[in-house]
Amino acid sequence: MQLPRWRSWIDWVYPNACTLCSRLLVHTQEHTLCNACRSEMIPIENACERCGAPLPATAIETTAQRIDPAHAATSGRHARGRKEKKRPPTCTFCENRKWEFSRVYSYTVYRDASVRAARFMKEPNYEPLTRCIGTIIGNWLASYPLSPHLQLLDFAPLDLVVPIPQYWIRRFLHRYNQSEVLAEQVAACIGRPMAPFALGRCRWTQKQGMKTIEERRQNMRQVFVVRNRTAIANRRVLLVDDVMTSGATLNDAARALRAAGASSVHAVVFARGVNAHRVEPRGPTAESLTSTNQKIQ
Ligand SMILES: [Zn+2]
Ligand SMILES: [Zn+2]
């Protein structure tokens, strides 16, 4: 999809404009996203230990008391020695659910600007936006060891970064794989090598958008194959994808990696869909979002 002509003229006069809302980026080092759109992508601070979904506020409070002694000392309730509630380790979606991966790190919730960004990233010609998002989540992941939530997040040492691959026909039509671009940036930020072709898709899959969770699992069953077992064996792998909703894609990819001998499989995604139990109606395309922005302008 080509950018609209008016946008090209603006880019010529004012080289930087926000990809999501078309605001001009004046006096800023940013070339892709404005501060308003960035601020809508709020990092998840207290996440489910398996799927990365945000946990309720009560869990955040209890976690803060446990990790930060200063917070605990100023908390009368805690100072009185009331027995601390055990923080829920997982969300309700993960209860009684067996994942093939150890854990998913989700940067933000799939809503507002992150929805627009995720839909744009699936379109050709939006590679700069994808690189920008990849750098954001890569820096976010790299900052974990410095975060006060270190004990909570249990950031695991990793050996290899592997993107979720596209089937070759889709890759040819889209001209780039957004997960691969995200993985390149994440690998650079955390200082780990990337293996872009270690994992492959052995068949075409239908889009997941209108499917139920069970249909998504069936759709993604045994889709991934490890093409380079030597690169994967005994490695701690970090999978990279743009969005996790039902988890079917990451789960099948992790299954293939573990079957090939990976010692552990973690994953990082840009956005976590928190209404995974529902089938969301298909949203507007990046093209329609762009035309909406034109009308706003
Ligand atoms: Zn913006
Ligand atoms: Zn969960």
Condensed to tens digits (0 to 9), the pLDDT of residues 238-256 reads: 999 999 998 999 999 999 9
Find tokens 């207290």 and name the residue.
46
Q: What H or E segment, with its residue span, contains residue 52? A: none
Q: What is the C-alpha separation between 68 and 71, in angstroms, rounded? A: 5
CB distance 272 to 51 below 8 Å: yes
| Residue 146: pLDDT over 60 | no
Q: What is the mean pLDDT of the chain?
A: 77
Q: What is the C-alpha separation between 202 and 224, in angstroms, rounded? A: 6
Q: Name the range with the highest mean pLDDT among 25-29, 177-181, 210-214.
A: 177-181
Residues within 5 Å of ion ligand 2, judged at the Cβ atom? 48, 50-51, 53, 90-91, 93-94
The bound ligand whose nearest atom lies closest to the alpha carbon of 59 is: 2
pLDDT confidence tier of residue 15, bands split at 50, 70 and 90: low
| Residue 63: pLDDT over 50 | no
Q: What is the C-alpha separation between 75 and 251, in angstroms, rounded? A: 40
Q: What is the C-alpha separation between 112 and 97, in angstroms, rounded? A: 28
Find tokens 């099948």 and name the residue.
252
DSSP state of 86: P
What pTM did the predictor assign? 0.76
The bound ligand whose nearest atom lies closest to the alpha carbon of 36 is: 1
| Residue 164: pLDDT over 90 | yes
Mean pLDDT score, 200-225: 77
From 27-31, 46-50, 92-96, the region with the lowest mean pLDDT? 27-31
Residues composing the chain: 297
From 14-23, 66-75, 174-183, the region with the lowest mean pLDDT? 66-75
Q: What is the C-alpha separation between 60 and 116, in angstroms, rounded? A: 27
| Residue 175: pLDDT over 80 | yes
State the pLDDT at residue 286: 43
Rounded to the nearest whole angstrom, what is the distance from the C-alpha of residue 195 to the centroid of ligand 2? 27
Measure CA of the first residue to CA of the last residue in the chain; give whole Å. Answer: 20
Q: What is the C-alpha separation between 56 and 119, in angstroms, rounded? A: 27
| Residue 65: pLDDT over 70 | no
Q: What is the C-alpha separation between 297 and 292, in angstroms, rounded? A: 9
* 209 CB neighbour count, 10 Å cutoff: 12
Q: What is the C-alpha separation between 217 and 203, in angstroms, rounded? A: 15
State the pLDDT at residue 57: 61
**pLDDT digit string, tens, across residues 85-137:** 454 468 888 988 899 999 999 999 999 899 999 999 988 889 999 999 999 99
Helix (H, G, I), strand (E, B) or coil at 242: strand
The bound ligand whose nearest atom lies closest to the alpha carbon of 274 is: 2
State the pLDDT at residue 151: 47
| Residue 178: pLDDT over 90 | yes
Q: Which residues of 107-117 are buried (b: 16+ CB within 10 A; e: fewer)?
A: bbbbbebbbbb
